Amino acid sequence: MYYQLFKNLLFAPVVRWLFQARIEGEENVPETGGAILASNHLAAGDTFVMPALLRRQVTFPAKAELFTGNRGLWSKIIAWFLKAVGQVPLDRSGGRVSLDGLSPVLQVLADGGLVGIYPEGTRSPDGRLYKGRTGVARMALAAGVPVIPVAVADTAPIRTALGIPWIRKPRIMIGRPHDFSAYAALAEDRDTLRWITDEIMHDIQELSGQTYVDGYGTSVKSGSLSAAEAEARVLPRPGYGATPPQVPSDGLS
């Protein structure tokens, strides 16, 4: 209930009429059934512009610690809001996302919901597309749902003459669903998970037109990957030169 209330009374009017946002390819989102919306990530506005424009509800997994509300008043407000609008915790306490940590997300998909995810794991440090984390592939294979590529553009806020942050004419572009269920038997194979993730990132790149850097955006932000090293890792596409894994015999239709 709160999701539709916040969306229809606050976010949708602001995004549609004040920001003048537009969406392309919404027909690629099925009217029912579970699916993953995998998107590039440019700015904080991404998290509310896309859901505001889509007819269906979108659930985003958020860091589990945000749901505790144990760091003062503001953290309590954030925890209440996340729970009120139906978002779910993602437990990464063990580092790499495991199936146990994904259980709340997988339940949303099993119930026929849409889950939004940013495979890069962070906002792009410079507007380019960075290497995706394989959690998105693990999630898709475990849930047996299609992955729908999404590209966002022009979502970064600018300062108006009055100094108020504003977003001008953001765009959301949605591509055709990609079904990887034939590889379900290879859900624990690291090479397969990497190939699937790269294919998803390539789908996103085709929509966004971004330059691809074969390194993690978090590495650039932490300084472990320098600007020069990132530049040296520019490739024509994610997974460039990789060989697709063989489809298991029991995955053939």
Which residues are CB-neighbours of 210 under 8 A, at least 6 positions away?
40, 124, 127, 128, 129, 151, 204
Coil, strand, or helix at residue 59? strand
- What are the backbone dihedrals phi and psi of residue 76, each rounded to the nearest 5 degrees, phi first? -65, -40
pLDDT score for 250: 65
pLDDT score for 65: 78
Coil, strand, or helix at residue 250? helix
pLDDT score for 252: 52
> CB neighbours (10 Å) of residue 131?
24
Alpha carbon distance 204, 226 (integer Å): 24
Tell me which amino acid residue 74 is: W
Please state the domain extents for the chain.
2-251
Q: Would you identify the CATH topology of the domain 2-251?
A: Glycerol-3-phosphate (1)-acyltransferase (3.40.1130)
pLDDT score for 62: 79
What is the residue-level pLDDT of the chain in tens, covering all 253 positions?
A: 689 898 999 999 999 999 999 999 999 999 999 999 999 999 999 999 999 999 999 999 877 777 887 788 888 888 888 888 888 887 765 445 556 678 889 999 999 999 999 999 999 999 999 999 999 999 999 999 999 999 999 999 988 877 788 999 999 999 999 999 999 999 999 999 999 999 999 999 999 999 999 999 999 999 999 999 999 999 999 999 999 999 987 655 4
Give alpha helix (H) positions in 159-189.
none
pLDDT score for 253: 47
pLDDT score for 81: 84
Strand-pair category, 171-174 with 147-153: antiparallel
Alpha carbon distance 89, 68 (integer Å): 10
Q: What is the dihedral sign for C-alpha 225, 226, 228, 231?
A: positive
Q: How many CA atoms lie within 13 A of 166 on its CB side?
A: 12
Q: Which two tokens stand for residue 223?
A: 């300084």
